[in-house]
Structure 1
């Protein structure tokens, strides 16, 4: 089980990440672009993913992952915090950030964190 506070900490640990309340939920952004969101009192969060990653996650663990409301058609995934593996969520949050952050910021992150590149928690 992962708490919302732990999820938020994972996201805010990434370069230039910020939290902003929007639509009665907390959005996590990099340079004003949303890469993850959720509500502290909710039991799930939403992360940006590709449609291909979304399909793989739903096929592998449909009890943990589902198509996110509103933005699911773009690949976003809803994640149940009470069932998700902490390391898997960390990887998903990092990948969501990577999809959203400017390429130069991602390159700088990769240079400072060897071994934490795409697909590595």
Structure 2
């Protein structure tokens, strides 16, 4: 069972990433782009995810669901955080971060972390 504290260090340790709180919601950003966000009660984690792959993920795994209709224009998926294990939650955050930084940044991170986000 994952909790916010399992992924919170990534919000400030990934290159170009920082943590903000907006209207009581914790968010991870690169520049102005939010790539991970949590519900106010920290039970749901939303994260950047390839738009063309999200229907397959949601259809294949009940832990994942689509965002509200208003947010469908974004490349985004939600997960119930308690349904994820900590390593899986960290991997989702890193993969979301990869979507918003240049490839040279992700390559540098891969070189420094050959075993993944752990």
The two structures have a TM-score, normalised by structure 1, of 0.79
Do the aligned partners of 2:6 and 2:90 also contact (CA within 8 Å) in 1? Answer: no
Pairwise CA distance, 1:93: 0.8
Tell me by how many angstroms 1:104 deviates: 2.7
Number of the residue aligned with 1:77: 77
Q: Is the 8 A contact 1:2 1:84 kept in 2?
A: yes
CA deviations on 1:56-113 (whole Å, 9 max, x unpaired) are 2212212x11112233333301110111232222221111000011233222222322
In the alignment, which residue of structure 1 is the partner of 2:38? 38
Give the whole-Å Cα distance in 2 for the aligned partners of 1:9 and 1:60: 29
Note the aligned Cα RMSD (angstroms).
2.2
- State the match for 2:21 in structure 1: 21
SS at match of 1:79: strand
Once residues 88 and 37 of structure 2 are traced to their aligned partners in structure 1, the CA distance between those partners, rounded to angstroms, is 17
SS at match of 1:74: coil
Residue 68, structure 1, aligned to residue 31, structure 2: no
For 2:7, the equivalent position in structure 1 comes to 7
Displacement, 1:115? 4.9
SS in 2 for 1:47: strand
Runs of 4+ in structure 1 deviating by more than 6 angstroms, as ranges, are none
Q: Gaps spanning 5+ residues in structure 2: where?
A: none
Question: Structure 2 CA distance, aligned partners of 1:66 and 1:45?
Answer: 10
Number of residue pairs matched?
117
Which runs of no fewer than 5 residues in structure 1 stay unpaired? none
TM-score by length of 2: 0.81
Equivalents in 1 of 2:101, 2:8: separation in Å?
17
Comparing 73-82 with 11-20, greater Cα deviation is found at: 11-20
